[in-house]
Amino acid sequence: MAKNFVSNKDVTVRMFKSDFMEAFSRVHPSVPLIVFIPVISFFLYRSIATLEIAAKNIILFILLGIFVWTFTEYFLHRFVFHFKANSRFGKRIHFIFHGVHHDYPNDSMRLVMPPSVSVPLAVLFYFFFNAIIGNTFVAPFFVGFLTGYLFYDMTHYAVHHFNIHNRIWLALKKHHMRHHFQDADKGFGVSSPLWDNIVGTNFPQSKNENSFESGQVSQ
């Protein structure tokens, strides 16, 4: 992705002429929690009370769901959000999907996935995993998968807007800031650099890595 940073302030650009469409492109960071915590609670309750799955299997499939999310996060960010577009229409779609975030990285209303995208994706993923895992174990698996998604969304907001001092969180912030301000073709993991390390898209260690911690961009 070409570097085209516009502002590091909490401002944005209008993306749609329609006020209705524009409203759906903005979302408060609490919305994913409001939407998906009840869903996670339902599937956890279903796993325990309705399906009576053994505790060890619930834990196992929750952990498996979290692990699968880490790959899903990496794949979506690298190959969907950063797809290479040549046509004017393709570039427009890319800007709506993710380009706007790279131009306005601190826009607090466009840091988490809007429900107009996340809910249909969640439904598709549920039926996909249900076909593979089956109607029983998909319940605890989906608890882990959606928990991983929420951790991703909240981490993404935090690294852009929280004053972070914790060593682990600071490492995640530094990793993501380098994706924004050093090389957008590396560092696709937001909640974890796991798959960047496995696939080879992590950043090489350098003496200057601290210069990208603060994420300064042109005004």
Question: Are 25 and 96 spatial neighbours (Cβ–Cβ below 8 Å)?
Answer: yes
Per-residue pLDDT of the chain (219 residues; tens, 9 = 90+): 444 555 566 667 777 777 777 776 778 889 999 999 999 999 999 999 999 999 999 999 999 999 999 999 999 999 988 878 778 777 777 777 677 787 788 787 778 888 988 999 999 999 999 999 999 999 999 999 999 999 999 999 999 888 888 899 999 999 999 998 889 899 999 999 999 999 999 998 765 544 444 444 433
Per-residue pLDDT of 111-145, as tens digits, reads: 888 898 899 999 999 999 999 999 999 999 999 99
Q: What is the pLDDT of residues 182-210, one digit of tens each?
A: 898 999 999 999 999 999 999 987 655 44
> What is the DSSP code string of 64-107?
HHHHHHHHHHHHIIIIIIT----SHHHHHHHIIIIIHHHHSTT-
Nearest to 144 by CA among 37, 38, 69, 51: 69
